[in-house]
């Protein structure tokens, strides 16, 4: 098990930064850290993603795990790892990305939906998978596939809110990926970083409480 998977299973939440402007990125990341969120990914379809990843590794690397999201193919994987990404997350399974990540000591958590994809990812060398899109699949789906595939850690992404986050962990998720419900770009752009920190704290506390049961 990699250090990053250990961090994921301890933190239980990955904050997804998508389409955030560079000028706001650092203060938003700090606001989430202040609220107890320590795993953050910048999606590769965000303008300047690799630049932000490099900068965050310098600024926040002592306190947070910094990853790249929406890594669709091998070229993106190479860019992300060169920028300093500590883990790669995808919405899809591309075995070449998993292999490349492993060769460079960077864990890859590919996006999978079906049991066949999940096992394929695992056999390719993925230590965990992202089950996506959870908002459409639903928590019951996660519980069903966890029963036969209980050896494979699953990061559930989509549809998580304060009311149901405990259900995701009860269904067997090792962590959850969260975008706009956690990284509210309106708050970021209007300077309401206090709201961002408070929201982060609420989710971090809820995840910790779910793990303590």
Q: What are the phi and psi torsion angles at 25 (to 5°)?
A: -60, -45
Cα–Cα distance measured from residue 144 to residue 76, given in angstroms and rounded to the nearest whole number: 32
Q: Quick check: is 59 catalytic? A: no
Examine the residue annotation and report whether 78 is marked as an active-site residue of this protein.
no
Token pair, residue 40, equals 């953050």
Q: In whole angstroms, give the CA distance from residue 54 to residue 84.
A: 6
From the list 3, 21, 41, 144, the catalytic residue is: 41
Q: Out of 3, 130, 151, 181, which one is annotated catalytic? A: 130
Residues acting as catalytic residues = 41, 130
């Amino acid at each position: 098990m990699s250090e990053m998977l250990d961090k994921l299973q301890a933190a239980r939440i990955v904050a997804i930064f998508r389409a955030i402007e560079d000028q706001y990125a650092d203060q938003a990341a700090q606001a989430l850290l202040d609220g107890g969120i320590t795993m953050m990914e910048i999606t590769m379809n965000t303008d300047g993603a690799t630049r932000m990843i490099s900068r965050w590794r310098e600024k926040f690397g002592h306190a947070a795990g910094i990853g790249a999201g929406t890594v669709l193919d091998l070229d993106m994987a190479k860019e992300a790892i060169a920028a300093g990404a500590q883990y790669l997350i995808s919405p899809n399974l591309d075995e070449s990305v998993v292999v490349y990540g492993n060769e460079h000591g960077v864990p890859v958590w590919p996006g999978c939906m079906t049991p066949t994809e999940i096992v394929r990812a695992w056999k390719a060398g993925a230590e965990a998978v992202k089950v996506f899109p959870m908002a459409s699949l639903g928590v019951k789906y996660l519980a069903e596939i966890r029963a036969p595939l209980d050896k494979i850690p699953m990061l559930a992404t989509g549809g998580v809110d304060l009311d149901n986050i405990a259900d995701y962990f009860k269904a067997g998720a090792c962590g959850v990926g969260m975008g706009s419900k956690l990284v509210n770009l309106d708050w970021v752009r209007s300077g309401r970083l206090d709201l961002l920190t408070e929201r982060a704290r609420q989710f971090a506390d809820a995840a910790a409480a779910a793990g303590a049961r």
